[in-house]
Amino acid sequence: MNERFARIRVVYPGLVRLAVLGAVVLGVDYFFGDRAALWFALISFTALLAFHYFYLAVLGAWLENPSLESVPEGSGTWSEVFARLYKTRRTSELNESRLAESEQRFRRTISALPEGIVLVDGQLQIEWCNPVAERHLGISLRADLGLRLTNLVRDPSFVAYLTSASFDNPLMLRPLANPAIALSVQVIEFESVRSIVLTRDITQSERVDAVRRDFVANVSHELRTPLTVVKGFLETLLDGRPPLDPTRERHLQLMLEQANRMSRLVDDLLLLSRLESQETVLAEEDVDVGQLLRELAEEARTLSSQRHAISVEAAPLWIRGSREELRSAFSNLVTNAIRYTSAGGRIWLRWRADGEGAVFEVEDTGIGVAPEHIPRLTERFYRVDKSRSRETGGTGLGLAIVKHVLLRHDARLDVTSELGRGSVFAARFPRTRLITAPDKERLRAA
C-alpha cells in the first residue's frame, strides 16, 4: 500500500503538469486555432523533454561520484526522486560506517589478544595478522601482505608442520628470528581454503618444565651411585660365607629386591627426561624392526618361561630412527603383555605394513583394560591396579616412555582392549619413516 502511494507521489507532479499543459493546448486551440495549438504543443513538449533530459544528465553525473553531500536538488518529479536518493544514500552510508566501526572493533579485540593470529589462504599467503603474530614470527602485515608465510618463517619444522596435513598436535617452535622465545604453533582450518595460524608464547611454562625435568634428571642421577653401592653390598652379604640365618637372608633378599626396583625406577626416570629433552637429537639409523622383533620374542619367551604361547609375524620393513629407543619402547609393550596375561594365555607380536605406513602390534589374551582407563594409560605412574603393577616389577613409567619414543618417531600408540579378554597395543608409524628392505639394499649399493 505504502509502495503504491510512494509511486503516486513521484509521478503526481508530472501528471499535474501534463494535465495543465493539455488544458492550455486545448485553450490555445479554442482561441487561436489548430495551427497555433500544434506549435504551442510542440514547443512546450520539447521544453518538457529538455527539462527531464537535463535532470537525467544531473543524475548521471551524480552517479559517477554518489556522495551524500553532492546529492542534487531538482524540481517537480525530480525533487522527489533526489530526496529519495538522499535518504537511501544516508541510510547506506550510516550502515557502512556502522559496519566499518564493528570491523574495527573486531580487529582491535583480536589485536588485543595475547595470542598471535595469522590468517592465511590455501596457498599459505598472508591475508591478515595481528601485532602479536608480527612480534612472534618476525613478520610485518604492511610489508608481507600476500606473501607466503613459509617463505618468511623458514624454520624447517615450521614449514614441515604448515605443509603437513595433520594439525592434531601443536608445534613447539623456537623461531630463528627470535630464539629467546618458545612458541606453541597451532593451525586451525576453516572455510576449506583458509586457515588460522595461532601462536602462543610458552617461554615461561617451557622454563618451568625445563626446571622440573632437570630436577628429576639430577635427582635420578644422584641416586644412581648410592643405589649401586647399596646393591653391591647387599649382594656381597647374600653371597657371604658362612650362610646367613634364614630370617636375615629373607630380609636382605627383600632389601635387594626393593633396591633393584628403585634402580629400575631411576633408570626409567632418566630415560624419560632424556626423551623429553629437546637437546637429545633423535638418531637416524636404519632399524631392521623384524630382526628387533625376533630378539624381543626370544627375551619374552625367557621372561614368560613357557607360561604363554608367543607367536611372531615380521614383515621385511625397516624404519629410520633410534634403534635403542625403539627397542626400549617395544620391549615395554612386550613385557607388559606378559605381565598382564595369566599363565596359559596367548601373545602375538606383529610387524606389518598398513594403509598409513607400518604398525608394530602386541596382542594378548590378558586381563584387559576398562575403557575409562585407556586414555590415561600413558600418564606417568598411572596404573589401573597398583599392587599388580608393583608385584610384577612395574615402574608405572613404561607406557609414558613408549609414548615419548613414538612421538619422537612421528608415530602414535593406539590401544584397544576389553576387560577380561585381552588388549592390542599398536604403534603406528607413518610412511615417511619407512625404508623397505629393497631400498635398504639399494642404499647399501650406493
Q: Which residues of 252-274 are buried (b: 16+ CB within 10 A; e: fewer)?
A: beebbeebeebbebbbbbbbbbe
Smallest gap from Cβ 174 to ligand ADP, in A, equals: 30
β partners of residue 184: 172, 200
Pseudo-torsion of CA 374, 380, 385, 386, nearest 10°?
180
Site for ligand ADP in 150-209 (CB under 6 A): none
Q: Footprint of ligand ADP on residues 304-363 (CB under 6 A)?
A: 332, 336-337, 340
Q: Which is nearer to ligand ADP, 321 or 398 (CB)?
A: 398
Give CA–CA dist 344/308, Å, rounded.
5
The grid coordinates of residue 236 equal: 656381597
Distance in Å, CB of 155 to ligand ADP, minimum: 33
Nearer to ligand ADP (CB atom), residue 286 or residue 385: 385
In whole angstroms, give the CA distance from residue 377 to residue 380: 8
Residue placing its CB nearer to ligand ADP in the complex, 52 or 386: 386
- SS3 track for 7-56: HHHHHHHHHHHHHHHHHHHHHHHHHHCHHHHHHHHHHHHHHHHHHHHHHH
Q: How far apart are CA 283 and CA 147, in angstroms?
A: 35
Instruction: Provide the 3-class DSSP secondary structure of residue 193.
Output: coil
What is the x/- site pattern for ligand ADP, positions 372-411, by CB under 6 A? -----x----xxxx---x----xxxxxxx-----------
If you search the block for the grid coordinates 608405572, which residue do you land on? 396
Which residue's CB is nearer to ligand ADP, number 73 or number 418? 418
Given the DSSP bridges, would you call strands 422-430 and 434-436 parallel, antiparallel or unpaired? unpaired
Select from 322, 329, 366, 406 the one that contacts ligand ADP (CB under 6 A): 366
Q: Which 13-52 positions form the footprint of ligand ADP (CB under 6 A)?
A: none
Reading the block at residue 244, the C-alpha cell is 646367613
Burial of 229 (C-beta count, 10 Å sphere; 0-12/13-18/19+): exposed
Cβ of residue 413: shortest distance to ligand ADP, in angstroms? 11
Output the CA–CA distances (angstroms, integers) from residue 26 to 23, 42, 43, 327, 403, in the order listed: 5, 13, 15, 113, 103
| 288 vs 364, beta carbon nearer ligand ADP | 364
Residue 430 found at the interface with ligand ADP (CB under 6 A): no
Binding to ligand ADP, residues 200-259 (CB under 6 A): none
Shortest distance (Å) from residue 307 CB to ligand ADP = 15
Tell me how far, at minimum, the Cβ of 191 lies from ligand ADP, in Å.
41
Nearer to ligand ADP, 185 or 397 (CB): 397
Grid coordinates of 273: 627426561
Please tell me whether residue 289 binds ligand ADP under the rule CB under 6 A.
no
Of 308 and 383, CB closest to ligand ADP: 383
| Closest CB to ligand ADP among residues 322, 332 | 332
With CB under 6 A as the contact rule, the residue among 129, 293, 326, 369 that binds ligand ADP is 369
269's grid cell: 626416570
**In the complex, minimum distance from the CB of residue 204 to ligand ADP, in angstroms, rounded to a whole number:** 29
- The verdict on 423 binding ligand ADP (CB under 6 A) reads yes
Of residues 171 and 400, the one with the C-beta less far from ligand ADP: 400
**Length in residues, the chain:** 446
Q: How far is the CB of 407 from ligand ADP (least distance, A)?
A: 15
Query: In the complex, which residues of this chain contact ligand ADP (CB under 6 A)?
Result: 332, 336-337, 340, 364, 366-369, 377, 382-385, 389, 394-400, 423
